[in-house]
Every structure is written in C-alpha cells, then in structure tokens.
Copies of this chain bind each other. A is one copy, B any other.
Amino acid sequence: MARQRTRDKVHQAVLSLAGEGRVGAITMEGIAARAGVSKQTLYRSWSSTGVILFDALLARSVDEDGVVVVPDSGDLARDLEELATGMVAELSDPTQGPLLRAVTAEMQSDDALAEEFRRLLLGPQMTAVSERLRQGGVAEPDDVAELFVGPVLHRWLLRSRPFDADWVSAHVARTVRAAGGVRDRPTATPPVGVTL
C-alpha cells in the first residue's frame, strides 16, 4: 500500500505550508491540495489538522531512531546549558517553532491530541532530562526537570521576552542551585538516551 509514500507527501506539504508562516491558517483542504492527495485520504489517517501537524513534527524531530538524546559530559551545568540552548534553537526555528505553537494551542481543546503529545514527545523528553539530572545526583529529578523547562516554556508561549545566552546561563545556575548543588561524576560516561 502507498501508505508511507502518502505520509511523506503529507508531511512535506505541512512543512512547506508551515514554512510560509500563517500556521494557524493551515487547513485540511490546504494540506490536501498541497500534497496532491484527496481529503478522504487525510481523514483516513488523521482526525484533525492538529494531529497532522503533530505527526509531521514528530517525524522530523525523532528523525530515524526514535531516541531522545541528552548530552552527558559529566559536567551537569555544561550539559544543561547545551540542552537549553538546543531547546531555544528548536523553539526559534522558523518551521519547528510555529508548528509547536500550533500543536500546543490545539492541545488546549483536544484531549486526545494532548495525550499523544505527552506520550510521544513531552514524556520522553522530560524523562531524558530527569534521567540526566538523576545521574548528576539531583534528589527530585522530575520536579527539577520541570523547574528547568517551565520558564523556557513561559517565555516562549507567553512571548514575554526573547531568549538570550546570558539568561540561559543564569537560568542554569538557578536550576542547579534549586537542585541543591551538583554532585556529578568526575568522569564522563555515554550520553543518556531514552527510546520512544
């Protein structure tokens, strides 16, 4: 069956539409037209634009192996800074960012989508961060992961202030302080990974 072929065309169409701005204006009809696919075909596999956007996002962000990678150099502060910088880059990406915004918006009124989002994207990422923190000897790694990620989300979703490198460093410092200091291993081990 031409399923994968169709998925690719649809993802391609979504990314190209998203790249043109106006992510909020993406419609089933628009995607169908751009992908050269019938509306019926879309509805057969996805129930709403939100789901399609999320699917496209996922296909791109877990590129091949379905693994979330978190840096693990042995220096927690350095790793957190790298992590935060990566997040900021993704959120600022002209394609990824708007897609994530749209999905986050739709989640607010679509429970099923929210569930998928948590299960396939948010959960693994939070787990990976938490795991890295536990490696570093942090006591309540889940909560500290939240403390680390929450302010980034706040700035981004509420658009309060732009990101800059100084803020990222200071934020890492605060997070580490909140965690009760670092007791990281002195020697490096392989990076932490979580399979989706």
A residues lining the B interface (CB < 8 Å)? 22-25, 101-102, 104-110, 114, 117-118, 122, 126, 140, 143-144, 146-147, 149-155, 157-160, 167, 170-171, 174-175, 177-180
Tell me the complex Cα distance, A150–B154, Å: 5
Contact of A151 among B107, B117, B147, B160 (CB under 8 A): B147
**Would you give 27 A-B contacts (Cβ < 8 Å), ordered by A?**
A22-B109, A24-B110, A25-B109, A101-B108, A101-B109, A102-B109, A104-B157, A105-B105, A105-B108, A107-B157, A107-B158, A118-B160, A140-B170, A143-B170, A146-B154, A146-B155, A147-B151, A147-B171, A147-B178, A150-B152, A150-B154, A150-B155, A153-B153, A153-B154, A157-B157, A174-B179, A177-B177
Residues of B within 8 A of A175 (CB): 178
Closest 8 CB pairs of A and B: A24-B109, A150-B150, A150-B151, A178-B178, A150-B154, A105-B105, A174-B178, A105-B108
Residues of B within 8 A of A106 (CB): 105
Closest to A110 in B: B24
Residues of B within 8 A of A143 (CB): 151, 167, 170-171, 174
Q: How many copies does the complex hold?
A: 4
Pair B109/A158 contact, Cβ less than 8 Å:
no
Contact of A114 among B25, B107, B159 (CB under 8 A): B159
Residues of B within 8 A of A180 (CB): 177
Residues of B within 8 A of A151 (CB): 143, 146-147, 149-151
Tell me the complex Cα distance, A122–B180, Å: 30
Tell me the complex Cα distance, A23–B109, Å: 7
